[in-house]
Amino acid sequence: MTRGLKKAGFAQGIYQSSASQKERLGTLRILQDGRQFVYCKNGAVALAAGGVCASIITAGMKEETVTVAHPIGTTIVTITDSGSATAEDAYKGGTLIVTGGIGVGESYTIAGNTAATTSATFSVFLEDPLVTAWAIATTDVVLEKNKYDGVVVNPVDGQQLPVCVPQRIIPVSYYFWGQVLGHGAMLMDVDGQAAGLELDEKRVVPSLTHPGFGFVDTAPNGTKVLAGYRHLLGYVVDELDIVDNEAAMVQILIGI
C-alpha cells in the first residue's frame, strides 16, 4: 500500500511507543536531517532496539473466483472467507489485489471489513471504487494485511519482507515509529570477529542465524552471493571494524 505522508502535527513522538493508535499505519515521517520513519504496530513479542522487523507471516486470503459480481463504481465488495475466520477490520489499511481474470493487475486499498466465520461471506470496504466490473466466471482476488500491522522480529529463513528498524525497545502490541532510511542503530551478526572496514564488508543483509539481526559477510564470493540472496537492509557507515553481536551505525535502506 502507499505510505501516507504527513509534514507536521504528529500525535506521537519519534521515540515514543503507545498502547493506543495515534497515526495511520504506514504513515511516513521525514525528519529535518533526512531520516525516515514509518508508523507500525508491534505483534506478540517485544522488539529490541536496533532489531530488524518484518511483516507478519500470514498468507493472503484468496478467492479463486468471486461468487458475487460487482459493477464499476462499487466500494463495498463481497468476499467468501477461505481461512479459519475473519475478524472485523483485520484487513484495514491492507490491499485487495485482482490476481486473475477480469480486472487482473488492479489493486485497491482496504478501508475496513466486517467479521465472518469460516467459509462465510463478508464485506470489504474499499477506499476507491472499482474501475473494472468483477465477473463471477473469471475474477480472482487476494486480500493482504497492512504490512506494518503486527510486525515481527525478522526470522532467520531470510524470506520475510523487512519493514523497519525500531530505535527503542517496543512492548507487545504497542504502536511505534520504525526507521526505514538514514543513519540508525542495527544489531549485527558478523561472519568472523570483525567487519566493516573493507569495501566488501559494507553490505548488510538479514541474518540467517540471529533473528532480527543484520549480517555482514567478511569473505563474500560469487558462490555465496548466488546461494545467499537476501533483501538489502543497508550499508555499514563507519570505516572501522564492527563486532559480532553488537549494534553498529548503518545507513538503513528499507522499502526504498
**Can you spell out the DSSP letters for 34-74?**
S-EEEEEEE-SSPBPTT--EE----PPEEESS-SS-B-TT-
pTM, whole model, 2 decimals? 0.87
Residue 75 has pLDDT above 90, yes or no: yes
Between 203 and 25, name the one with better pLDDT.
25
Q: Mean pLDDT in the chain?
A: 88
Q: Are 212 and 153 in contact (CB under 8 A)?
A: yes
* 1 grid coordinates: 500500500
Ranking 56-70, 97-111, 158-172, 219-233 by mean pLDDT, the lowest is 219-233
The answer to whether 214 and 186 are in contact (CB under 8 A) is yes
Looking only at Cα atoms, what is the longest distance across the chain?
62
Between residues 151 and 248, which one has the greater pLDDT?
151
Q: Would you state the cell numbers that stand for residue 65, as one nine-digit string? A: 473466483
Among 56-65, 75-84, 88-97, whose mean pLDDT is lowest? Answer: 56-65
> What is the Cα–Cα distance from 93 to 40, expressed in whole angstroms?
12
pLDDT of amino acid 2: 47
State how far Cα 88 lies from the chain centre: 21
Rounded mean pLDDT of 151-178? 94
Band the pLDDT of 29: cuts 50, 70, 90: very high
104-143 confidence digits (pLDDT tens): 999 999 999 999 888 889 999 999 999 999 999 999 999 9
